[in-house]
Amino acid sequence: MEKSGLAEFNVKIVESCLVPPCLPLPRCTLYLSNLDNQPLVRINSNALLVYEGCENALADPAKTIREALSKVLVYYYPLAGRLRKKEDGKLQLECTGEGVLFVEATVDNSLSVLGDLDKLEPSFKKLLFRFPSDTAIEDVHPIVIQVNHFVCGGFVVAVSFQHMVCDGRGIGQFLKGLGEMARGYVKPSIEPVWDRELLKPGNISVHDLESTKEKIETLVWQARTKVLEISHTQNVSISFAVDVKRSFNPPLPNGYYGNGVVAASAQTIAHDVINQPLSYLVNIIKKTKISLTNEYLRSIIDTDRFSSNIYSNQANIILSDWRWLGFDEVDFGSGSPVNISPIYWNENGPNISNGFVFVHSPKRKFDAFKAIAWMPSQEFNLLEIEIKAIINKYLVNGSRC
C-alpha cells in the first residue's frame, strides 16, 4: 500500500562492484524464447529479503554473499552477461562474463524501522540500487544485488532482475542456489538449464493445463471492483500468470529458469463481479484457464501474439502469487528470511497501480499470507473493509460461495 513516508533512515554505500564468475567461461550469444520476449515480462522485478540478527548470524553477510555469487555464476553464467536487441527488436543474451552488479551498504537504524513491510515507504527505495529509467536495455544488468547491514545485526538482501531473462521461479531457484553456495555447497542442488531453444516456434507440443486455486483471486477481484465504484455496465477483468512449464510435451526440464508463464484474463461486467456469488466468478476464472488449450499455446508461441495492455487498464486487476517462488527458502547461512516483499517504484511512485502480490506473512505467522497492493491509503482502507465483509459472509457465517 502506498503511504507517505514515516520510516526514515539513511543508507550509506560501502562498495559497488561487478562480480564475475570465479572461473573463465566461453563467450557466446544465447537465444531468448518468445515467452522471454513477450510484453508481459519486459519489466524489471525487485524483491526485498529480510534476515534478523541471531546467534548463528553471519559475521559478514556481504562478503559471504559476494564470494558465493562468484561461485554460483559459474552455473548461471548467462546472468553475468548483458541483453542485446536484434534487428527485429527482440532480445537475446550475450555472455560477456562482465559480472553481476553487487552493492554493499549500511543502514543507520535497526530492522524495526521497516515494520513488517506493510507500508510502501519511499525510503525503502534506498535499499535497492536502481538504474535511471532512461537507461538503455543493453546497459541494465540482468541481476543486481544489494546487501544492507542494519545496526541490530540483521540485514536485507535486495534483488533486482530483468524478467526477460528468468521468471519468478527461475530467480527463486537462482537465489536458493546462491544461498547453498554461501553455505558451502560444491554446486547448486538444482543444476540450472538454459535451453531456450526448446521453445523455438514449431518445436513444441502441449498438454492440457491443470486447474489451480481461484477463490483468493476471486475475493480480491470482487472487493476491488466495489471499492473503485466502477460503472455496473463496464467490462472488468482479472489477469494472472499461468505457469505452463509442465504443460509442454515433454515438460521443460527440472532446473529450467527461463520464462514459462503466459498471461490469462477473465472478463465480465462489473455488476456481475459485485453481485454474483464467488462460485460464479470462480467458474469464470476456471473457464479462462481451460481455454488455454494446447492449440492456443502453440499458436501464441509460434506466432508471437501476446497481450500487452494489462498494465494500463485500471479496470483490470493484475494478480501475482509469490508464495511458491522459493524466496522464503533462501538461506545464506543464518536461516531463512523472516519477511519478503516486492518493491516497485519509478520516479513518481509505485508503477503497478492495479497490481496485487500475494506473499507469505512475516515469519509465517499463523500459516497466513498477505496481499500487497499499490493504491492510495483511503482506497486501501475501503478494500480492507470489503475483504473482511466478504470473508465474514462466506466463511464465518458459513454461506455457500
CATH fold of the domain at 11-199? Chloramphenicol Acetyltransferase (3.30.559)
Given a cut of 60, whether residue 72 has pLDDT beyond it is: yes
Distance CA 295, CA 208 (A): 10
Lowest average pLDDT, out of 86-95, 112-121, 275-284, 356-365, goes to 356-365
- Which of 149, 163, 243, 328 is an active site residue? 163
Please report the pLDDT score of residue 401 as a whole number. 47
Q: Quick one: how far is CA 186 from the chain centroid?
A: 28
Please list, in sequence order, all residues whose beta carbon lies within 8 angstroms of the beta carbon of residue 50, skipping any fewer than 6 positions away.
111, 114, 117, 154, 156, 337, 338, 339, 340, 341
Burial of 318: CB neighbours in 10 Å, binned 0-12, 13-18, 19+? buried
In 330-350, which positions are buried (b, 16+ CB within 10 angstroms) versus exposed (e)?
bbbbbebbbbbbbbbbeeeeb
User: Please, which pLDDT band fits residue 3 given cuts at 50, 70 and 90?
Assistant: very low
Domain 215-323+341-396: homologous superfamily in CATH: Chloramphenicol acetyltransferase-like domain (3.30.559.10)
Tens-digit pLDDT profile for residues 130-163: 888 888 888 999 999 999 999 999 999 999 999 9
Known active-site residue 271: no
45 beta partners: 161
Asked if the model's pLDDT at residue 268 lies above 90, the reply is yes
Residue 163 known to be catalytic: yes
Query: Tens of pLDDT along 75-118?
Result: 999 999 999 999 988 999 999 999 999 999 999 999 999 988 87
Q: Structural domain boundaries of the chain? A: 11-199, 215-323+341-396
For 295-333, how does the pLDDT look when each residue is reduced to its tens digit (9 = 90+)?
Answer: 777 777 787 776 655 555 667 888 888 988 999 999 999
pTM comes to: 0.90
Confidence band for 203, pLDDT divided at 50, 70 and 90: low
pLDDT at 261 over 60: yes
Range with lowest mean pLDDT among 25-29, 90-94, 245-249: 245-249
Residue of 118, 195, 304, 331 marked active site: 331
What the block records as the C-alpha cell of 394 is 462466506
Backbone angles phi, psi at 334, to 5 degrees: -125, 25
CA distance 36 to 164: 5
